[in-house]
Amino acid sequence: MSSPAATATTTADELERFAERVIHSNANKARVCIAVAGGGGQAITSLAATPGASALLLEGIVTYDRQSFMSFVHNNGKSSDKNTIFDESFKFASNDSVLLLAESALQKALRFTPELSKMQRCIGVGCSSALVSPNRTSGRGSRAHVAVISSDGTTTGKTVFFEKGVRTRQEEDRVVSKYVLQTLCQHVEGGIAIDDDDDKTLGPGDEETTWSTRKADPFTVEDAAAKVLSGDAPAVVLIPHNDGELLPLIQKNGTSLVLPNYPLIFPGSFNPLHHGHVELAKSAVMEAQAKHPSRNEFPVLFELSLTNPDKPSMDVQEASRRANILKEALADSNIGEWGVLFTSAPLFSQKVEKYYPNIATNVEENAQFSFVIGTDTMVRILNPKYYADEAAMWEAIREMKSLGIHFFVGGRLQQENATPTPTASDVFLSGHDEYDKLPSDVKEAFTILPNFRVDVSSSEIRKRTSVPES
């Protein structure tokens, strides 16, 4: 079968030129994973064969068989409702299928990106298609669905129906491959139209539909809090973007939580946030860098548990207010990489269960994270009344230590009287007394921050400013 002259086709040279354009347009240093079901795989090979591809492409995968498709999606964020998703009505070449591929590809990109600041540059690309086949002789012509999703939820979705009977299977595959690259390029360049004559991908008989150009704005900080409170997400990470806004990493469609490796998780109510919190976080970062000199970044995640077994849950407006206070206070703090973590895990055992399996790691390193706590929290962790018995307490702490979990402990002022300023009767609890009593192997799980002391009390600030306790 030959192609009429009026029908747009794509050559290998054109694919190569467009792959170069995609790579050269990557000013924001996007980190991309591509998942293709059926045709379109030459988009991956064209990128991989182009110099500079390593700055953009993390992985490309072709899931040709349906079991391969289901396995890829199942292993990258859609495990809980696998049977529901792939029922008899599911179409493997559809808008729904390509969104699953793009979301799963995004999850892989996030997992390949242990640095918090780079996570906001992750992109997932999906393509599903039904091309020329001897088994399909009637009905509409071939079609391809393409979706591109950024880590903040910005989505581009397109479908093209090809004119029937004018291209070979190989020609359709090249056109789909170029269409994938074109859609990715438009997404990376912020929606810039590509209408150069040399870059015409579709012919006059092809029909294109853009079914999603959703920006990230609708998924707000309040949306993130609501998702955690409703139980739809175990936790949501919010990170400051280049424009200063605090935006969630995508959790909108049930995708799984991903955390950077070696995070310093700082649980607290931050009600109110004060300079003692900021200085404690800075001190923990400095001590972590001293312990691991080969690592440059230890992102601090300020964790707000929106649920509490002893108090009412925090509402979405209050969660948003506190997150924005953190954003304003930390913007010029020189703390390094930081984010906010909304969660529904008030207990440390719950935190470990939720966070540890979702740490992004390079193949050469194990998942590790640390908690930043005050001495009052350390005392509670070492109190047998919060466990079945003392033996269970030591077992739990040793289990956390075996997973690479560490505690950085900052001293805290214990005020004898409610006064605006410290008095001679107040006692600074450094944590050394509790630390010295620990078994030698358990001591390895704790570091008392040696140079940290800030005599400030959240409860006293609340009394002076009439901020309600929560």
Provide the residue type at 96 as one letter. D
Question: pLDDT confidence of 5, banded at 50, 70, 90?
Answer: very low
What is the predicted pLDDT for the residue at 259? 87
Q: Is the pLDDT of residue 395 over 60?
A: yes
Q: What is the pLDDT of residue 468?
A: 58
pLDDT at 367 over 50: yes
Q: What angle do CA 313, 250, 87 make, to 5 degrees?
A: 100
Distances (CA, A) of 51 to 22, 24, 45, 48, 125: 12, 10, 12, 8, 20
Q: How far is CA 396 from the centre of its chain?
A: 28
More reliable by pLDDT, 133 or 196: 133
- Average pLDDT of the residues in 393-403: 94
Angle at 44 between CA 70 and CA 239, to 5 degrees: 75
pLDDT for 255-293, tens place per residue? Answer: 567 888 889 999 998 988 888 899 999 999 999 999 988
Task: State the alpha helices, DSSP H only, in 60-203.
Answer: 66-74, 82-85, 95-111, 116-119, 169-188
- What pLDDT score was predicted for residue 135? 63
Answer yes or no: is pLDDT of 193 > 80. Answer: no
Residue found under tokens 């939820």: 153
pLDDT digits (tens, 9 = 90+) for 437-467: 999 999 999 999 998 888 766 555 555 555 5
pLDDT band at 2 (very low <50, low <70, confident <90, very high): very low
Lowest mean pLDDT among 296-300, 305-309, 365-369: 365-369
pLDDT score for 132: 83
**Phi, psi values for residue 168, rounded to 5°:** -80, 170
**Is the per-residue pLDDT at 416 higher than 90?**
no
pLDDT value for 264: 96
Q: What pLDDT was estimated at residue 4?
A: 42
Tokens matching residue 444: 């390895």
- Give the pLDDT of residue 214: 63
Mean pLDDT, the chain, as a whole number?
83
SS3 of 359-386: the string is ECCCCCCCCCEEEEEEHHHHHHHCCHHH
Mean per-residue pLDDT for 381-392?
Answer: 93
What pLDDT band is residue 423 in, cutting at 50, 70 and 90? low
Q: Kindly report the CA angle at 115 between 263 and 268, in degrees rounded to 5?
A: 30
The predicted structure's pLDDT at residue 297: 84
What per-residue confidence (pLDDT) applies to 278?
92
Average pLDDT value for residue range 212-222: 68
Residue 93: its pLDDT value, please?
84
Residue 305 scores a pLDDT above 80: yes
> Is 306 in a helix, a strand, or coil?
coil
pLDDT level of residue 358 (50, 70, 90 thresholds): confident
Of residues 192 and 90, more confidently modeled? 90
Residue 429 β-bridge partners = 412
pLDDT above 50 for 233:
yes
| pLDDT, average across residues 64-90 | 71
pLDDT of residue 324: 92
Average pLDDT, integer, range 212-241: 80
Task: Give the C-alpha distances (Å, rounded to integers) separating 301 from 260, 268, 336, 346, 446.
Answer: 10, 11, 11, 15, 19
The pLDDT confidence band at residue 252, using thresholds 50, 70 and 90, is: very low
Q: State the distance between the two ends of the chain, measured CA to CA, in whole angstroms.
A: 72
Q: What percent of the chain has a predicted confidence (pLDDT) above 70?
A: 81
Query: Model's pTM, two decimal places?
Result: 0.81
HEC sequence for 90-117:
CCCCCHHHHHHHHHHHHHHHHHCCCCHH
Q: Which of 184-188, 351-355, 419-423 has the lowest mean pLDDT?
A: 419-423
pLDDT at 421: 56
User: Per the omega criterion (within 30 degrees of 0), is the bond before 468 cis?
Assistant: no
- Residue 197 — very low, low, confident or very high, per pLDDT cuts 50/70/90? very low
Provide mean pLDDT across the span 403-432: 74
Between residues 219 and 59, the one the model is more confident about: 59
